[in-house]
């Protein structure tokens, strides 16, 4: 069959659409501008969404725990005793799949936590960073840029002091 016959057969099986490009045998689905704008608006709305925050008295100091992995970034807000006041994650805000692991998603999570911090009234924070994901630095930068008084930044990533016993050598 010639390429023209293949293309004609392909259009009969799969009618052409505005948002699908055909490259060889693979199909690449591209989102339209309207869909991209809607997705961005949904994420912005999730960042601005108010969470359930219960605090009987105003807290002046707190701790922020940033857990960054290859798949997600989770930021937890706690008081000095360790009681969790609020938390947010990239998946919670509305990012899906591999987008959760990006630095942009981590900065949006930090913005969501900052809104909750302002609502509670915390002024000074200690930051504890754990993990090796791409969101660690951007989350810390976002927290610093929003005007929080940062007392300390500490890396609490677990490091093995010898690790597990390696597997035995293969005998072939």
CATH of the domain at 63: 3.30.420.80
What gap in Å lies between CA 86 and CA 77, rounded to an integer? 5
SS3 129: strand
Please state, in angstroms and rounded to a whole number, the distance separating the CA atoms of residues 17 and 126: 52
Task: Examine the domain organization and report whether 65 and 145 are in the same domain.
Answer: yes
- Cβ count within 10 A of residue 98: 10
Residue range of the domain that includes 26: 3-31
Rg (CA), the chain: 23
Task: Kindly tell me if the per-residue pLDDT of 86 is higher than 60.
Answer: yes
Half-sphere exposure of 80 (CA within 13 A, CB side): 9
Residue 140 pLDDT exceeds 90: yes
Q: Tokens for 102? A: 């990006």
- The pLDDT value recorded for residue 24 is 60
Other residues' Cβ atoms within 10 Å of the Cβ of residue 132: 9
Percent of the chain with pLDDT over 70: 77
Question: Do 25 and 68 have their domain in common?
Answer: no
The reply to whether 70 and 135 lie within a common domain is yes
Instruction: Count H helices and E strands in the chain, helices first.
Output: 5, 7
Do 93 and 24 have their domain in common?
A: no
Does residue 112 fall inside a structural domain?
A: yes
* pLDDT confidence of residue 27: 66
Q: Which two tokens stand for residue 125?
A: 């924070």
Which residues share a beta bridge with 29? 20
Minimum mean pLDDT range among 16-20, 41-45, 48-52, 161-165: 16-20
Residue 133 or residue 128, greater confidence: 128
Domain tally, the chain: 2
For the chain, the average pLDDT equals 83
Whether residue 23 sits in one domain with residue 102: no
pTM score = 0.68
Count Cβ atoms within 10 A of the Cβ of residue 136 and give its class: 0-12 exposed, 13-18 middle, 19 or more buried.
buried
């Amino acid at each position: 069959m010639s390429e023209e016959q293949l293309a004609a057969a392909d259009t009969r099986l799969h009618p052409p659409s505005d948002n699908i490009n055909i490259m060889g045998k693979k199909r690449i689905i591209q989102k339209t501008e309207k869909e991209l704008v809607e997705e961005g608006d949904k994420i912005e709305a999730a960042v601005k969404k108010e969470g359930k925050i219960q605090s009987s008295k105003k807290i002046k100091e707190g701790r922020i725990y940033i857990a960054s992995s290859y798949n997600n970034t989770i930021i937890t807000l706690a008081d000095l005793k360790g009681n969790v006041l609020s938390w947010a994650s990239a998946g919670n805000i509305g990012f899906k799949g591999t987008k959760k692991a990006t630095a942009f998603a981590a900065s949006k999570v930090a913005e969501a936590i900052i809104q909750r911090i302002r609502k509670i009234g915390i002024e000074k924070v200690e930051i504890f960073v754990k993990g090796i994901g791409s969101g660690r630095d951007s989350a810390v930068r976002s927290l610093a840029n929003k005007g929080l008084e940062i007392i300390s930044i500490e890396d609490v990533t677990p490091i093995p002091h010898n690790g597990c016993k390696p597997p035995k050598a293969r005998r072939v």
